[in-house]
Structure formats: C-alpha cells, structure tokens
Amino acid sequence: VQLLASGGGLVHPGGSLRLSCVYSGFNLATYAIGWFRQAPGKPREGVSCITSSARKKYFVESVKGRFTVSSENAKNTVYLHMDSLEPEDTGVYYCAHAWGEGCPAPFYSDKYYSNWGQGTQVTVSS
C-alpha cells in the first residue's frame, strides 16, 4: 500500500487549497482514507475521513463547513478541499489508509490507520 499526498503550499487567510492523495496497492471496495494534520509542537489531529463508496464523510468540528472531501476512483485519488483557511489550519497534512468498509470509529484516531503518506505542508499566513 502506498499513498502520496500533495497540493500543499502557502496561502493567505481566507484562501483555498486542494490536497490530493494518490493511493495504490489495495482494493478500492474495502478502504477508508483519512486526512490528518500536525502543527508544530502539537499532536497529530484527525481532520476528515471518506469511505470507499464516498457515501460517508466525516469532519472534525473545527473544519466543518470549510473543508470537503471527495474521491475520483478512476484516478485512485482522494481530495481534501480546504476553503476559508485560517492560520490555525497550518501544519503538515497526511493521508492515511484504513482497512475495512467504513471509516474507523472514531475516524480521527490515528491508531486505526495502518498506512500513511509522506505529508504535504500547508501554511496559512498573511
């Protein structure tokens, strides 16, 4: 299993970014992809999760209404769309894979994800 996250960068507050997670090596029908972030000096935080069918999506409270998650199965890619970015959204963003048909419970616990991408830096600053 391999995951590759990309799309990070420097953006002003209120701006938008779209992160991509390209995955390979597992059956599309039985997976969940989670997005996590880690700010300097802080523990890793679960941000979102999407099931393989894309029927279920989960978000941490702090990003609800600002972030959305989608998948494009033909490209083996999951996207994290981030709007109205705030300085508090700064961090390294990771995508991670969990075996099973749904997102782990709770989706924001990193112990349930067995495979991780390398991370992409998002910096929100004026």
pLDDT, position 29: 65
* Residue 98 near residue 113, CB atoms below 8 Å: yes
pLDDT, position 87: 97
Higher pLDDT, 104 or 31: 104
Span 23-51, average pLDDT: 89
Of 81, 109, 108, 88, nearest to 18 by C-alpha is 81
**Residue 117 scores a pLDDT above 70:** yes
Confidence of residue 27 (pLDDT cuts 50, 70, 90): low
- Whose tokens are 């830096």? That residue is 121
d(CA 68, CA 2): 23
Read off the pLDDT of residues 60-100 as tens digits, 9 standing for 90 and up: 999 999 999 999 988 999 999 999 999 999 999 999 999 88
Beta-carbon-side half-sphere exposure of residue 23 (alpha carbons within 13 Å):
27
Rounded alpha-carbon distances, angstroms, from residue 61 to 4, 5, 66, 118, 124:
25, 22, 10, 25, 19
**Residue 28 scores a pLDDT above 60:** no
